[in-house]
Structure 1
Amino acid sequence: MKIKVLGCYGGQLPEKHNSGFILNGELLIDAGTIALNSTIEEQRGIRNVLISHSHMDHIGGLPFFAVNIVSNKADTVKIAASEFTIDAIKKHLLNGVVWPDFTKIKNFGSQDIFSYMPVKENEWFELGGYKIKAVSVNHTVPTFGFLIGKDDHYIMYTGDTKTTDNIWAEAVKLGDKLKTVFAEISFPNDLKALAETSGHYVPKTLHEDLKKLGGLKPKIYVYHIKPEYFKKVKKELAAIPGLKVTPLQEKKEYTV
């Protein structure tokens, strides 16, 4: 599987954008950034969207994505998320006031542009040919991390979280089928108190949770670092003995 990074920061500055990832050209994982770092053709190829939680840096790209795919003649794009997150998008973003409700607007193929797919916790479901399990993690609003697989090849996406247990336990059940982990991390170690309050990892707490994988050795990538702390966090990660963690780079495609 291949994943293209549209945005991988926990903030927004020139050349640094909020979280957004396209898996195999068709599944968007979080929607903090879409239009700013993908072409019209790439956006038209997205068939489904998986949203971890309702914070703006993970849903803020949806309005302009919707506008850009009006000319599609393809099927409706499904937005899969928890009922809490879907309700937040309906009430506060695509609400007919801040931006149109694109479940009520047709594309050029006479299909609704968006539809919503509520996702239940700890149940495997199918979306666009992928097997996915949503697992609650430890953030300031209800948030899912995801296990995403195809042909016995799985990735783990933590969503925004601080120290948490269940998603690591579920990942271990996959055994060697787990090939890659995408873990959030936001602050350096000296801002652990802020990270705890806001529901995020620092290098030390992520390192402790990575130990929960036991003997599994997937590739580890990190995202969501606050831009102003990027160099410091990268240095702290590099200083952890025996740990190979790679910060993602925007606009780059990875084989996972």
Structure 2
Amino acid sequence: MRVEILGCSGGIGGNGMRTTSLLIDDDILIDAGTGVGDLSLQRLAAIDHVFITHAHLDHIACLPLMIDSVGDQRSTPLTMHATAQTLEIIRKHIFNWHIWPDFSVIPNAEQPFLRFATVEQGQAVRIGQRTITPLPATHTVPAVGYHLRNEHSGASLAFSGDTSICPALWEALNRIDTLRYLIIEAAFANRDRELALLSKHLCPSLLLQELQQLQSTPEVLVTHAKPGQLQEIASEIVAGTGMHRPRMLATGTVLDF
């Protein structure tokens, strides 16, 4: 499996700041933040599946625009996978004919540009030789992370999505015996630790504390930093101690496993 990081910032502001989206091979997205907007029409049209962690705008901003841009260039609907709670939020507040048209009935209900598929924590979705399994997460809205597994090689990558302290996440990660990469958030610098807890995010001190529960030793990549705090967060990550030595993730990074 090939994972291309289209965006991994907690906001926008130039210099490669794109919000969360991971392109799996050429046909699967994990989240659809502003990084998706850098893809060509041809690459957009090749995407068949989008797995959404949660309904916050920085993770779905390009989904409506993407469907509008390439829906008529595809012969099959784009499938959006999410939990029932997240699907309900997105259908009610985005594809509602007020914010954006309901592409699940355009051009008609029998052959729409968009279809919805429900996922559940712990239940794998298999697409070819790849499985994608929702992981627990704790956030201000219903949220999940995702475990990506290459069934050919047996190797895995896990993505936390947006999360705060979440014991169930570490229990799930410790059951993955071939975890090569862990992409996990640290949205705020340590000076905003209380804000991180209030908004159900992590900061470097919380992340390093939580990582003590991880029994394996994957490469740990830190995502979702607020643009104005990026350097501060990076310095605090580097200064941390423990068995795991995280490093900051960057837009354009490619991970193979």
TM range (shorter): over 0.9
For the Cα contact (< 8 Å) 2:45–2:70, is it kept in 1? yes
Change (3 A) 1:128 1:228: farther
CA distance in 1, matches of 2:121, 2:254: 29
Displacement of 1:116 after TM fit? 0.4
The residue identity in structure 1 corresponding to 2:157 is: I
Displacement of 1:171 after TM fit? 1.5
- In the other structure, the counterpart of 1:168 is 170
1:48 maps onto 2:34 in alignment = no
For the Cα contact (< 8 Å) 2:18–2:35, is it kept in 1? no
The residue identity in structure 2 corresponding to 1:223 is: T
CA distance in 1, matches of 2:28, 2:76: 14
The residue identity in structure 1 corresponding to 2:9 is: Y
List alignment gaps of at least 5 residues for structure 1.
none
- In the other structure, the counterpart of 2:157 is 155
| C-alpha distance after superposition, 1:157-211 (max 9, x if no partner) | 1010111111221111121x11110101101111100000001011111112222
List alignment gaps of at least 5 residues for structure 2.
none
The residue identity in structure 2 corresponding to 1:130 is: R
For the Cα contact (< 8 Å) 2:31–2:52, is it kept in 1? yes
Displacement of 1:237 after TM fit? 0.5
Alignment TM-score, normalising by the size of structure 2: 0.92
Displacement of 1:122 after TM fit? 2.5
Change (3 A) 1:135 1:10: same
For the Cα contact (< 8 Å) 1:47–1:128, is it kept in 2? no
CA distance in 1, matches of 2:46, 2:125: 21
Alignment TM-score, normalising by the size of structure 1: 0.92
For the Cα contact (< 8 Å) 1:134–1:144, is it kept in 2? yes
CA distance in 2, matches of 1:67, 1:143: 25
Displacement of 1:127 after TM fit? 4.0
- In the other structure, the counterpart of 1:250 is 251
Q: Which region of structure 1 is more displaced relative to structure 2, 200-209 or 129-138?
A: 129-138
Alignment of 1:1-256 (within 5 A): 1-14=1-14, 15-106=16-107, 111-127=111-127, 129-151=129-151, 152-175=154-177, 177-214=178-215, 216-241=216-241, 243-256=244-257
CA distance in 2, matches of 1:156, 1:202: 19
Please give the secondary structure, in 1, of the residue aligned with 2:232. Answer: helix
Q: Which region of structure 1 is more displaced relative to structure 2, 133-142 or 244-253?
A: 244-253
For the Cα contact (< 8 Å) 1:133–1:148, is it kept in 2? yes
Please give the secondary structure, in 2, of the residue aligned with 1:104. Answer: coil
| C-alpha distance after superposition, 1:42-88 (max 9, x if no partner) | 11121100000111111111111012212323321111001111111
For the Cα contact (< 8 Å) 1:48–1:127, is it kept in 2? no
CA distance in 1, matches of 2:21, 2:173: 22
CA distance in 1, matches of 2:191, 2:64: 36
CA distance in 1, matches of 2:26, 2:220: 21
CA distance in 1, matches of 2:133, 2:205: 27
Q: What is the number of equivalent residue pairs in this alignment?
A: 252
* Root mean square deviation of aligned Cα: 1.8
For the Cα contact (< 8 Å) 2:238–2:247, is it kept in 1? no
Identical amino acids, percent of aligned pairs: 27
CA distance in 1, matches of 2:252, 2:132: 25
CA distance in 2, matches of 1:10, 1:233: 12
| C-alpha distance after superposition, 1:10-65 (max 9, x if no partner) | 11212312111101121100111254221112111211000001111111111110
The residue identity in structure 1 corresponding to 2:141 is: V
Please give the secondary structure, in 1, of the residue aligned with 2:228. Answer: helix
The residue identity in structure 2 corresponding to 1:158 is: S
CA distance in 1, matches of 2:128, 2:70: 18
For the Cα contact (< 8 Å) 2:21–2:36, is it kept in 1? no
CA distance in 2, matches of 1:132, 1:35: 20
For the Cα contact (< 8 Å) 1:155–1:179, is it kept in 2? yes
